[in-house]
Amino acid sequence: MSDQAYEAWRRAFADAPLRSVPFTTMSGIPLEPVYGPSDGEFPGVYPYTRGPHASMYRSRLWTMRMFAGFGTATDTNTRFKDIIRSGGTGLSTAFDMPTLLGLDSDDAMSLGEVGRCGVAIDTLADMRDLFADIDLAHITTSMTINSPAAVMLALFVAQAEESGVARASLGGTLQNDILKEYQAQKEFVFPPRQSMRLVRDTMAFTTASMPKWNSISVSGYHIREAGSTAAEELAFTLANGFAYVELARNAGLAVDAFAPRLSFFFNAHIDFFEEIAKYRAARRIWARWMRDVYGATEERSLQLRFHTQTAGVSLTAQQPEINIARTAIEALAGVLGGTQSLHTNSMDEALALPTEKAARIALRTQQVIAYETNVTHVADPLGGSYFVEELTNEMERQAEALFAEIMAFGEGSMLEGCISGIERNWFQGKIADSAYELERAFNRGERIVVGVNDFREGNDDIETLRITNADEKKQRERLAKVRQNRNDDLVRERLDALAASARDPEVNLMEDLIAASVAYASVGEMMAAMGGVFGRHVEVPSI
Amino acid sequence: MSLRVLVAKVGLDGHDRGIKIVARILRDAGMEVVYTGLFQTADTVALAAIQEDVNVVGLSMLSGAHMTLAPLVVAALRERGSDIPVVVGGIVPPSDVVLLTAAGVAGVMGPGASDHEIIATITNAALVS
């Protein structure tokens, strides 16, 4: 090995702006920005195992992006402002179940779910309240939505443009990762191929018109929460990422035009070193495949950037305060693994949606890591550990073995392999098997969960957030008012145009969706207009 | 005679990790388990439970809609003259357990329930009814 990587790192680091803090230990020992032999790997240099950027947190801390949403848009807007006041640096919107499934709040199936585990968004009026008095030119917004992702993007663009912010200047992320919905999260609406057409449309639209927008957040989080192993999370997520790359290339987009705007989202589970190895392997695999398989040449196309959320599934309802410790350890794994953005779960989430106090403690946990521990001074501090390097290689080997299986389903295409794997229930079965195996280990006492299968004394109740059905009623009334005051003929006309465009698979639906949004067509109406053409996905139930 | 159990997801909640694990635990314990899949309504669950002649209905709910939907399932069964007991598992705040019991739910299992607790809750519900 030559010192080429070191030289590249040294040049990049010299150009990087640095935060004005002393880069020393607490006792004053000066620290290098990265450690390792000069012929080894370096952060900010291919294959980016040690981090996407040369200076990592010396230039910029991760974005403390707290996921929030409940009740009406106005309620969530208040929580957003609390987050910004408490030092949160990005917003992340949780939508309620009806919105996630593209249903209106007054749909019969929405009963009991409106505003329950996220915010209810029916029309442009709600989107406007959601971001009222928040400066979208300066704070980036992530929207966790998948089946109706194109609809939510249309509403977001419509609301920004009416307030005078051009679409080209909007920064943020749409989750828009439909493949993992069929595999794990199960909030699907249309069949896989029709859904992928909408993903293609959003990718083409944002690539052309919203250069600062991340078109997809390819998400392993939900795959892991549904029960996969760390290696399965890694492999399925990257396979889905490659599938989107193939989708966009098939639509004629140049890989270096859209790949820089693909971002990732991983889980931070409780097995500390395994998680860190997973993030390191993810960066290395992505860089190699993007360069060697998909022919990307731009650095940003090769650099995997990711958001992290601590593992909801690791939280316990028993002795809930212990969850603060779990979350701190998981968050630290995300940071030592080089995350670009982080959400920390609240201690009460195995019981209910978080209270404001619990959410604040979760944010403070990140701030302790960021400002007190000095772990931010040195990039990839575990790089070079015999253990972590070998675990990183093992993650990579296991992921490659799974890629080969998926590729075989698709006869050489990852896109076809992912769709075929979903249709043959392969992903779903793998995830359910891994979940069951872990559960058996807990039940046999081979693995300990403190407070659950050992150390059980001292279970105190804590205060939890109550959401009443009053929000549901309020939201239904609000929607009724919007329907009353809008121009129904115009809505009908634009929904008909949307349906007509949906019938032609070559047409990009984004402009039709924006036009319908501006006319106050509801999420449910836009989804129904497309659903009449696309049909519905039904999962064959299996245990 | 082995117990027959219908496990169901009512409403829009797609979290199916728990229900699949519970289904496998019950099956391993020798019960016959029917899973009707995602996005069911109170009526479809009641009809399936009666048609399948099950001893217990188990609902898995993680979206916070349990206070609305679980009593609807109980009511849908009773309206059809069935006394099949309904058990709820999932994210349920402790303060809601009493309310669910008052609404006719025969048992509630929270996160972290062991396989023994799950089997006991289902068996007890079947015996008491």
How does pLDDT run across A331-383, given as a tens digit for each residue?
999 999 999 999 999 999 999 889 989 999 999 999 999 999 999 999 999 99
Residue A97 has its nearest CB partner, among B12, B67, B93, at B12
| A413 phi-psi bin (left φ>0, alpha ψ -120 to 50, beta other) | beta
What whole-number distance in Å separates Cα of residue A203 and Cα of residue A511? 13
Least Cα separation, residue B67 to chain A (angstroms): 8
Least Cα separation, residue B1 to chain A (angstroms): 22
pLDDT of A90 above 90: no
Categorize the per-residue pLDDT at A272 as very low, low, confident or very high, splitting at 50, 70 and 90. very high
Question: Contact B23/A541, CB-based, under 8 Å?
Answer: no
Question: Contact A432/B111, CB-based, under 8 Å?
Answer: no
Question: Contact B111/A469, CB-based, under 8 Å?
Answer: no
Preferred mutation among B6, B12, B25 to probe A, highest tally of A CBs within 10 A? B12
| pLDDT for res B75 | 97
pLDDT of B1 above 80: no
Query: Hey, is the C-beta of A445 within 8 angstroms of any chain B C-beta?
Result: no
Helices of type H across chain B: 17-28, 42-51, 66-79, 94-102, 115-128
What whole-number distance in Å separates Cα of residue A158 and Cα of residue A153? 8
What pairing do the DSSP bridges indicate for beta strands A63-68 and A90-94?
A: parallel
Tokens 């989080």 appear where?
A221
A173 has which bridge partners?
A: A142, A214
Question: Contact A112/B35, CB-based, under 8 Å?
Answer: no
Query: Are residues A127 and A158 in contact, defined by beta-carbon separation less than 8 angstroms?
Result: yes
Q: Which amino acid is at A459?
A: N
pLDDT in tens, A444-475: 999 999 999 999 998 778 888 877 788 899 99
DSSP letters along A279-293, please?
Answer: HHHHHHHHHHHHHHT
- pLDDT higher at A116 or A370: A370
Range 75-104 of B in CB contact (< 8 A) with A: 91, 93-95
Q: Which residue of B has its CA nearest to A436?
A: B21
In A227-292, which ranges are E strands? Answer: 262-268
Range 266-305 of A in CB contact (< 8 A) with B: none
pLDDT of A156 above 90: yes
ipTM surpasses cut 0.90: yes
Mean pLDDT over residues A157-181, rounded? 94
pLDDT of A120 above 80: yes
Mapped onto helix, strand or coil, the DSSP state of residue B87 is strand
Query: Hey, is the C-beta of B21 within 8 angstroms of any chain A C-beta?
Result: yes
What whole-number distance in Å separates Cα of residue A338 and Cα of residue A304? 10
Q: Which residue of B has its CA nearest to A459?
A: B94
Mean pLDDT over residues A245-270, rounded? 97
Mean pLDDT over residues B94-118, rounded? 93
Query: Hey, is the C-beta of A353 within 8 angstroms of any chain B C-beta?
Result: yes
Residues 6+ apart with CB under 8 A from A471: A71, A72, A75, A114, A115, A120
Categorize the per-residue pLDDT at A491 as very low, low, confident or very high, splitting at 50, 70 and 90. very high
Mapped onto helix, strand or coil, the DSSP state of residue A308 is strand
pLDDT in tens, B28-86: 999 999 999 999 999 999 999 999 999 999 999 998 889 999 999 999 999 999 999 99
pLDDT of A111 above 70: yes
Q: Which of A115, A102, A118 is nearest to A188 (CA)?
A: A102
Tokens of A154: 């249309």
pLDDT of A89 above 80: no
**What is the tally of helices (H) and strands (E) in chain B?**
5, 5
Name the percent of chain A lying above pLDDT 70: 100
pLDDT of B93 above 90: no
Query: Are residues A280 and A50 in contact, defined by beta-carbon separation less than 8 angstroms?
Result: yes
Query: Are residues B61 and B13 in contact, defined by beta-carbon separation less than 8 angstroms?
Result: yes
Q: Radius of gyration (Cα) for chain B, nearest Å?
A: 13
Query: Hey, is the C-beta of A462 within 8 angstroms of any chain B C-beta?
Result: no
Preferred mutation among A110, A145, A185, A186 to probe B, highest tally of B CBs within 10 A? A186
Residue A113 has its nearest CB partner, among B23, B41, B63, at B63
Tokens of A493: 């006309």
- Residues of B with Cβ-Cβ distance to A542 under 8 angstroms: 35
Residues 6+ apart with CB under 8 A from A455: A448
Question: Contact B25/A439, CB-based, under 8 Å?
Answer: yes
In the DSSP assignment, the letter for residue A63 is E
Query: Hey, is the C-beta of A437 within 8 angstroms of any chain B C-beta?
Result: no
What whole-number distance in Å separates Cα of residue A126 and Cα of residue A398? 45
Q: At B36, which CATH number? A: 3.40.50.280
- Residues of A with Cβ-Cβ distance to B38 under 8 angstroms: 186, 539, 541
Categorize the per-residue pLDDT at B94 as very low, low, confident or very high, splitting at 50, 70 and 90. confident
Tokens of B37: 């899949």
Query: Are residues A50 and A9 in contact, defined by beta-carbon separation less than 8 angstroms?
Result: no
| pLDDT for res A205 | 98
Tokens 């705040």 appear where?
B93
Domain boundaries, chain A: 56-443
- Residues of B with Cβ-Cβ distance to A318 under 8 angstroms: 112
**What's chain A's length in residues?**
543
Q: Which residue of A has its CA nearest to B112?
A: A452
Range of the domain at B93: 4-128
pLDDT of A1 above 70: no
The four Cα atoms A135, A131, A68, A278 give a dihedral, to 10 degrees, of: -50
**What is the tally of helices (H) and strands (E) in chain A?**
21, 9
**What's chain B's length in residues?**
129
Q: Which residue of A has its CA nearest to B67?
A: A112
pLDDT of A104 above 70: yes
Q: Which residue of A has its CA nearest to B71?
A: A112
Least Cα separation, residue A222 to chain B (angstroms): 10
CATH superfamily of A56-443: Methylmalonyl-CoA mutase (3.20.20.240)
Quote the distance between the C-alpha of residue A212 and its chain's center.
17
**Across all residues in chain B, what is the average pLDDT?**
94
Query: Are residues A76 and A117 in contact, defined by beta-carbon separation less than 8 angstroms?
Result: no
Tokens 């208040």 appear where?
A78
Query: Hey, is the C-beta of A347 within 8 angstroms of any chain B C-beta?
Result: no
Question: Per the structure, how many domains does chain B have?
Answer: 1
pLDDT in tens, A211-243: 999 999 999 999 999 999 999 999 999 999 999
Question: Contact B91/A351, CB-based, under 8 Å?
Answer: yes
Query: Are residues B60 and B18 in contact, defined by beta-carbon separation less than 8 angstroms?
Result: yes
| pLDDT for res A139 | 83
pLDDT in tens, A26-36: 999 999 999 99
Residue A443 has its nearest CB partner, among B13, B36, B115, at B115
Q: At what angle do helices A192-209 and A414-423 cross, to 10 degrees?
A: 140
DSSP letters along A376-443, please?
Answer: TSSSSTTTT-HHHHHHHHHHHHHHHHHHHHHHHHTTT-HHHHHHHHHHTTHHHHHHHHHHHHHHHHHH
What whole-number distance in Å separates Cα of residue A159 and Cα of residue A132? 10
Q: Which residue of B has its CA nearest to A437?
A: B21
Phi, psi for residue B15 in degrees, rounded to 5 = -65, 110
What whole-number distance in Å separates Cα of residue A407 and Cα of residue A402? 9
Preferred mutation among B9, B13, B16 to probe A, highest tally of A CBs within 10 A? B16
Query: Hey, is the C-beta of B67 within 8 angstroms of any chain A C-beta?
Result: yes
**Across all residues in chain A, what is the average pLDDT?**
95
Taking CB atoms and an 8 Å cut-off, how many pairs form between chains A and B?
A: 109
What whole-number distance in Å separates Cα of residue A543 and Cα of residue B3? 17
pLDDT in tens, A369-409: 999 999 999 999 999 999 999 999 999 999 999 999 999 99
pLDDT of A141 above 90: no
- Residues of B with Cβ-Cβ distance to A449 under 8 angstroms: 112
Helix or strand run (H / E) with residue A255: helix A255-258
Mapped onto helix, strand or coil, the DSSP state of residue B33 is strand
What pairing do the DSSP bridges indicate for beta strands A341-343 and A63-68?
A: parallel
Residue A467 has its nearest CB partner, among B12, B64, B115, at B64
Residue A543 has its nearest CB partner, among B11, B35, B114, at B35
Say what the pTM is.
0.96
